[in-house]
Structure 1
């Protein structure tokens, strides 16, 4: 299967039309202004941006995919992180030496609501929001323009995947964005509390996502955490329905077994941690069976996360999840930012190993 960028037909035409409006809007409120820097003793911030630490920027663009280029650095040394929309990390802490300027480019998915598709946790602001944080943010310029031929990787999942609006909760979908280079974007349609059936049936979730899937776009499906009473036949049927409809659009479905919970019996994880549900269904095994029957790729995130969590043991594995001493809450299902980064890394490793469509766009 090809991973090369390709045209979007109607979407491309819409983006081209939007581009005319975007250029006009950005010229007054969001286009990069050369020579503008942030930090102590610096010139004004780039147009569309306010503050210093953090520096926040807003661009009045329509939903879609956008190429964003930022220049970091300036007269004094800096350390800058870049976040977009609902806490999607695009650039981890990056150091620039005094007098140095470096450019970084990304392709960003813009959606309204900007976080979880059902609006859980808030809907955010229409348009594109960028936040530069770090110990000493230094931003020289920002430019935004419509992306005309991006590969879009869609995420269908639950609260362990979604764009969590508030720290410390973090979905792995918010962290894998740091590994994706310009030319591809992550469109995260994961939503808290969703099972395979509710995700399939909610018009704001699978139907809304499917309407945007284009040829060769990968769709990563991780559902199972909330299928606590789902029968084996219903679970298989829900996954098969998604696969069939994604293929009909020319997309590439990829099944992802759910990451484990941190529930130990001695040094080993319990069946509940491994997603054997309340009616005795081994959900990861059922997902693997569907993948085999439908001949679709499967990423066994259950097995990979089991190996990671058990290797760390009952004590050290707590850092992957939420701890009362650090996060103010104890939660053995949802990830800390560190945990979401590690789990996302396992997914990215499998994408590379299987040479899935997104692999060609990973750093």
Structure 2
């Protein structure tokens, strides 16, 4: 087997690096499968490893000169001499490649597309803006990366936008993790996941804040998909207003030629006896919010991902004690927000429906089950 870096260098190369390579947009490699929707993965370049450094047991690569946009990334994971286990994250803890084991002398190629933006985490400015450019973090049980390639994604490449609350958003602060943060690992390069969510967002605030729906809609174009999961914070929104707000979201996306998808909210881990209660099922004094979403989706002919029904079945089937690891109950007492594990579980449910309903075409799905928890 031919290796890009000989011997033990995939790990030791990171010690004492200070100089930064500035040319990181690379010529594309040979064409992938035929058809206008496909585009080549970027070729790797040794200079890109010069912008990596050790951070504890992790390897962090920073490309600060990259402007906001969408970038295809190729990585070869593994080590010439030792077994490795590598997970790839980008920007604000977004999972791009789930932990991938490699034997000594084995390199595994992965490709994905990353959205670079400011702020790079929650879009309602609840977190710090983040670092300029693109950040890649190689973590896991024994992280090792031998090659990296980066290229600007083609202008026509489709995007999957997420409009949601704290259970969806790119959380900057561990252990809090939104399911949208774990969704990118399900896709190969060519589809960019743009998480336009934020903690505390309701249908009311999402529509009223210029930097939420007002900034999202101008970016949309034909072929893009937008998932909305907004309900947890609509505690005082009347049923009529809630339906009207969902309708405005749907019509705003359709006006740009994009495809809206409504997602019912994940349940809270709140039980009465052996069943989830109204708080757990996101039923307020004003409305049964998941049922309102189902009605609007049916009335407007919008695809529906019934994440409430799926998460209810899962959590009630497990029972309170067994369901605790999905949430942050043991860490903080939080029965609403999910752990990294729980976010991966719910991202898997969403991904399964996106694939089953044909909302995301087959050509964009990763070729393995590595993203599954």
Asked whether the two chains share a fold, i.e. TM above 0.5, the reply is: yes
Which of these residues, 241, 248, 251, is aligned with residue 244 of structure 1? 251
Cα distance change, pair 93–178 in 1 and its aligned pair in 2 (3 A): same
What RMSD, in angstroms, separates the aligned Cα atoms of the two structures? 1.8
> 1:74 deviation in Å?
2.4
Q: What secondary structure, in the 3-state scheme, does the structure 2 residue paired with 1:153 have?
A: strand
With normalisation by structure 2, the TM-score equals 0.84
Name stretches of at least 5 consecutive residues in structure 1 with no aligned partner: 1-22, 37-44
Q: Corresponding residue for 1:132?
A: 138
In 1, distance between residues paired with 2:25 and 2:151?
11
CA distance in 2, matches of 1:359, 1:302: 25
8 A contact 1:68–1:142 mirrored in 2: yes
Matches within 5 A, 1:324-363: 324=330, 327=331, 329-357=332-360, 360-363=363-366
- 1:104-119, aligned counterparts within 5 Å? 104-119=110-125
Deviation at 1:24, TM superposition (A): 5.6
Q: Secondary structure at the match of 2:314?
A: helix
Q: Is the 8 A contact 1:113 1:126 kept in 2?
A: no
Taking the aligned partners of 2:283 and 2:149, their CA distance within structure 1 comes to 48
Distance in 2, matches of 1:74 and 1:312, equals 39
Give 4+ residue runs of structure 1 displaced > 2 Å after superposition. 23-28, 31-34, 357-360
Q: CA deviation at 1:32?
A: 5.0
For residue 201 of structure 1, the aligned residue among 197, 208, 229 is 208
Cα distance, 1:340–1:72 mapped onto 2, change above 3 Å: same
Q: 1:241 deviation in Å?
A: 0.6
Does residue 264 (structure 1) correspond to residue 271 (structure 2)? The answer is yes
Contact kept? 2:25, 2:152, Cα under 8 Å:
no
- Distance 1:127-1:121 versus aligned 2 partners, 3 A rule: same
Unaligned runs of 5+ in 2: 1-20, 27-42, 367-373
Contact 1:222–1:258 (Cα < 8 Å) also in 2: yes
Q: Distance in 2 between matches of 1:290 and 1:268?
A: 26
Contact 1:115/1:124 (<8 A) preserved? yes
Deviation per CA, 1:91-116: give whole Å up to 9, x if none.
11111111222221101111111001
**Could you say if the C-alpha distance between residues 357 and 137 of structure 1 is closer, same or farther in structure 2, counting changes exceeding 3 Å?**
closer
Q: Which residue of 2 aligns with 1:62?
A: 67
User: How far apart are the structure 1 equivalents of 2:361 and 2:343?
Assistant: 19
Q: Once the 2 structures are TM-superposed, how far is the Cα of residue 359 of structure 1 from its aligned partner? A: 5.1
Q: Aligned equivalents of 1:358 and 1:132: distance in 2?
A: 28
